[in-house]
Structure 1
Amino acid sequence: MAVCEIGPMFLKAANCEDEVKDKHFIANLLTDSIREIGPQNVVHIITDNGANCKAARLLVEAKFPHIFWTPCVVHTFNLALKNICSPLAHPKYNDVMEVCGWIPKRFKEIKQALQQMVISERWDMYMEDDVEKAGTVKEKLSNELFWLDINYILDFIAPIYEMLRITDTDTPFLHLVYEWWDSMIEKVNIVIFRKEQRQLHDASRFFDVVHGILVDRWTKSSTSLHCLTHSLNPSKQWLQEVPVRVPPHQDFEITKERKICLERYFPNDMEIRQVNVEYANFSMFLGDFGGSDSMNDR
């Protein structure tokens, strides 16, 4: 599949039957497609987060330095959500993560039916198989604190699910990914701290675990291309959401990664110098970017 300004298009199907899908096989498939399309027409390639795909990235980028690899954002969020909802993945925090052992949306939808089930006359018949387990189920379903936990889990997972939903599309959104990650983490932060009745500057052991998982996934999946496209996104409304946020040109990490990206696109010293001047004008509203029309169009 390829995506361009007019939308997605199907290129070809590859028969991978009986093939060892190692880094060389995947790199050869990608290289053949790039050459078929024309390297000058390819900005970046997207695969899942598998180790073989990440290794293939290095082989492809060695042949085409101007082409960047990024992992599938949807797959990245799936992995993050799986980590958050798996207490076995965090033996140090079993007590903290127990509340997230599963996603109970379906439980909330059928809450009334479940409660009616455990108070019905037939429930005594069901209890005969395992009285202890049946008693535990009845106690849980009749306990309002249990349902408050259900609502809490759904509330703090909602921003992650929303990100997963909006990124599962063929529409180009590379320039929005960095901002979306930041906004999503802040929304999760607010939900957890509200539940724990803490101020945002306080410490939360539970949020530290969730935040660590999300940041770890973002660190593994982010590239300098994300930083460049984020820097070139003229919209700044998202800066108002959190007071500590700064524009991309004032962020050290983004600036460093943006320079790495631009140097791959423009290896010539004269070209990169001119590009840096243009970006400075863009960031500071100087030159042609300082005109009223240009500023209003942001």
Structure 2
Amino acid sequence: MIEAIAQFGSGYKPPSYHELRVPLLQDEKAQIDCIKKKYEDYWKSESQYADMLFQLFDSKIEEIGEDNVVQVVTNNAANYVATGRMLMQKRSKLYWTPGAAHCLDLMLEDIGKLKAYKITIERAKTMTSFIYRHYKLVDALRKKTNGIDLVRYGVKRFATSFLTLQSLYKNKDALKQLFVSDDWNSSKLSKTETGKKVLDTILAQTFWNHVLDCLRASQPILVVLRLVNGDERSALPEVYLAMEIAKKRMKVNFANKERSWKKVLAIIDDRWEVQMDRPLYAFT
């Protein structure tokens, strides 16, 4: 970049801050999207077919040597499930299994679909979206949270929602302080319909009670997910033990709310037993 500017010589006028971050950035993104589109079209038409995936995996197994391949691990998409079954039918010594992290993430997805948790997650998303659309509001909040952001991104898609709820609950006092401050009350945002709804949510104790229920349901699974995604890869027997501990913790978390933990445990057992209960893991 510096060399190009030097070659231009004197009189060069650099783009403004606005030009760099809006029109020029959008133009570059549009060009990259055009380049990427032809590859995406190819990926969509090829990767969705189990037969094609089977041939791809099978050729690699042949290349490596069937006796040297014990296990093939993929995600839980239907095309990969079908591919895994086809591989095991042809290769009697081989096991196909879905990834443990993806299995745990799908558990969190299913839990998030339960009515009580779904409503709470949607309200939390409305709150965080509103805050992060307005940079002055974000700056004011960061001052009260010592620079900590509310939105926490997990390594897996559905873990993010529950990690964000965890962060919201941890910083609920800072949120309340911000939304009852003179700065908020005197701002134009406080007069908007969305602003009023966000304020009502933040000040409602029932909302925070529901957030706590979401954390009771998700925290034990997040602990296992952290173990699976750690720098040191855990052996599956260790993960199996962690899941048993997680289920016991779930019952303790909900105490007298038997109906709640039974729903969550049913989701966990359904995903875990169908996807991760493999003879290979029992052997190890």
2:233 matched residue in structure 1: 171
**Structure 1 outlier segments of 4+, above 6 Å:** none
- Which residue, out of 174, 181, 205, partners 2:259? 205
2:148 matched residue in structure 1: none
How far apart are residue 97 of structure 1 and its match?
A: 5.8
1:127 matched residue in structure 2: 190
| Identity rate, percent | 22
Contact 2:72 2:95 in 1 (8 A): yes
Q: Note the aligned Cα RMSD (angstroms).
A: 2.7
1:184 matched residue in structure 2: 246
Q: Letter of the 1:204 partner, please give it.
A: E
Query: Once the two structures are superposed, what CA deviation does each residue of 1:252-290 show, in whole Å capped at 9, x if it has no partner?
Result: xxxxxxxxxxxxxxxxxxxxxxxxxxxxxxxxxxxxxxx
How far apart are residue 121 of structure 1 and its match?
A: 1.9
How far apart are residue 226 of structure 1 and its match?
A: 4.6
Q: Secondary structure of the equivalent of 2:93?
A: coil
Please give the alpha-carbon distance, in whole angstroms, between the structure 2 residues aligned to 1:42 and 1:205.
44
Contact 2:251 2:258 in 1 (8 A): no
How far apart are residue 111 of structure 1 and its match?
A: 2.1
Please give the alpha-carbon distance, in whole angstroms, between the structure 2 residues aligned to 1:186 and 1:219.
17
Query: Once the two structures are superposed, what CA deviation does each residue of 1:201-249 show, in whole Å capped at 9, x if it has no partner?
Result: xx722112111111111122024325533xx5xxxxxxxxxxxxxxxxx
Q: Secondary structure of the equivalent of 2:108?
A: helix
Q: 1:74 to 1:96 in 2, by over 3 A?
A: closer
Please give the alpha-carbon distance, in whole angstroms, between the structure 1 residues aligned to 2:192 and 2:216.
35
Please give the alpha-carbon distance, in whole angstroms, between the structure 2 residues aligned to 1:139 and 1:53.
45
Q: Letter of the 2:245 partner, please give it.
A: S
Number of residue pairs aligned between Structure 1 and Structure 2: 200
How far apart are residue 98 of structure 1 and its match?
A: 4.2
How far apart are residue 53 of structure 1 and its match?
A: 0.6
Contact 2:111 2:117 in 1 (8 A): no
Q: Normalized per residue, which structure has more helix?
A: 2
Equivalent residue runs for 1:1-298 within 5 Å: 17-18=42-43, 19-21=45-47, 22-87=49-114, 94-95=115-116, 98-99=119-120, 103=162, 104-124=165-185, 125=187, 126-130=189-193, 134-144=195-205, 146-168=207-229, 171=233, 173-193=235-255, 198=256, 204-226=258-280, 228-229=282-283, 232=284
Q: 1:34 to 1:57 in 2, by over 3 A?
A: same
Q: 1:140 to 1:100 in 2, by over 3 A?
A: closer
Q: Letter of the 1:190 partner, please give it.
A: V
Please give the alpha-carbon distance, in whole angstroms, between the structure 2 residues aligned to 1:115 and 1:40.
61
Please give the alpha-carbon distance, in whole angstroms, between the structure 2 residues aligned to 1:143 and 1:128.
18
How far apart are residue 168 of structure 1 and its match?
A: 1.9
2:28 matched residue in structure 1: none
